[in-house]
Homo-oligomer: A and B are copies of this chain.
Amino acid sequence: MKKLINDPADYVDEMLDGMVAAHPDEIRRIDTTKVLVRREIPEGKVAVVSGGGSGHEPTHAGYLGPGMLDGAAAGEVFTSPTANEVQEMIDACDAGAGVLLVIKNYEGDVMNFETAGEMAEMGDVEVAQVVVNDDVAVEDSTYTSGRRGVCGTIFVHKVAGAMADRGGDLEAVERAAQRVIDNVGTMGAALTSCVTPEKGSPTFDLGEDEIEIGIGIHGEPGVERTGMMSADEIADRLATAVLDDVEPEGEVATIVNGMGGTPLSELYIVNRRLQELLGERGLETWDAWVGDYMTSLDMRGCSITILDLDDELKELLAHEADTPALTVRD
């Protein structure tokens, strides 16, 4: 599989440098690490940081900026960042009011972020953490005890970042993040496998007429391998599973997320059916995002995320944000 890369060993390094080169006034890279942080973090603001293996771009560094993340620690492709680098990020981002760690539920991430948090607390930084586990497809998986953390994480970044930007203390920011986690669900489907730069061939085999429902963002197994389905059938299947889990009753926010190799036009076709189905269920969509938010390298496919809203979550989602991958105006 052809890729726009140089040496596969430099993939993450060069990608991170390319992000900084696109936003040199806003983002900097901490020397000798794979950590990107905001150049200016307001004094006295709670810092919100996240991170994880690379290959999910724009996650996470694409969400660095006012109203969202202050720091993003990258690992190699599909590999957790080290505890030491996460600790460097925490120390760099603390602006005197503590640091919230937003962790996707993968064993490596949870272990390294927890260790880093403990090390930072020994250095007198106040640390709190939340673990995102929004993937409703499966309990336990290749790298996970419990449910996997996937695209719902972006709503956590948005809401926690907004609460921090509005002056909320660490407990308030943690509570807002947890409120998203308690009310969000996601499920994905793959038309093709992702191809890692190092391996250069598909991570898993999927026939020319097969798709996988409930796929993970590293290609972890889903719930069913089936013949090709229409966009509407896939939307129905994913949305129904998420709705059965989240059980929203009023207004929702949705994401139709591309897996990296899916054209935007196809995501809009999925969004058309998703919004139709939500209307049939008597739900009202307050905001609908469509695009690549949490990808799996060059995988073709999509995921659907649904967040059950209340007034506070709506206010925080509407709060201004200015990041490379997501901008919300006043």
Q: A49: CB under 8 A from chain B?
A: no
A188 shortest CB reach to chain B, Å: 12
Q: Which residues of B contact A276 (CB under 8 A)?
A: 21
In the bound assembly, the distance between CA atoms of A3 and B301 in angstroms comes to 8
Binding stretch for chain B, among A87-95, A160-168, A290-298: A290-298
- Decide: A5 and B298 in contact? CB cutoff 8 A: no
Q: A226: CB under 8 A from chain B?
A: no
What are 26 inter-chain pairs, A to B, with CB distance below 8 A? A2-B208, A3-B266, A4-B301, A5-B269, A14-B272, A15-B268, A15-B272, A18-B269, A18-B271, A18-B273, A18-B290, A19-B268, A21-B288, A22-B268, A22-B271, A22-B288, A58-B264, A260-B264, A264-B295, A265-B297, A290-B324, A292-B292, A298-B300, A322-B329, A327-B327, A327-B329
Q: Which residue of B lies closest to A189 (CB)?
A: B4
Indicate how many identical chains form the complex.
Answer: 2
Q: A79: CB under 8 A from chain B?
A: no
Q: A180: CB under 8 A from chain B?
A: no
Interface size on A, residues (CB 8 A): 63
Main secondary structure of the interface of A (DSSP, over half): mixed
Residues in A187-210 with C-beta less than 8 Å from chain B: 191-192, 208-209
Binding stretch for chain B, among A145-153, A214-222, A230-238, A241-249: A230-238
- Decide: B269 and A14 in contact? CB cutoff 8 A: yes
A227 shortest CB reach to chain B, Å: 11
In the bound assembly, the distance between CA atoms of A249 and B324 in angstroms comes to 27
One digit per residue, 1 when the CB lies within 8 angstroms of any chain B CB and 0 when it does not, for chain A 251-267 equals: 00000000011111111
In the bound assembly, the distance between CA atoms of A3 and B275 in angstroms comes to 20
In the bound assembly, the distance between CA atoms of A68 and B263 in angstroms comes to 22
Q: A11: CB under 8 A from chain B?
A: yes
Inter-chain pairs besides A6-B232, A57-B265, 19 sampled, C-beta below 8 Å:
A2-B191, A2-B209, A2-B211, A3-B266, A5-B269, A15-B266, A18-B271, A19-B271, A21-B271, A21-B275, A22-B289, A22-B290, A23-B288, A58-B264, A261-B262, A261-B263, A261-B300, A263-B297, A329-B329
- Decide: B55 and A265 in contact? CB cutoff 8 A: yes
Q: A302: CB under 8 A from chain B?
A: yes
Q: Which 8 A-B pairs have the closest CB atoms?
A: A18-B268, A18-B272, A4-B266, A327-B327, A21-B275, A2-B191, A18-B271, A260-B263
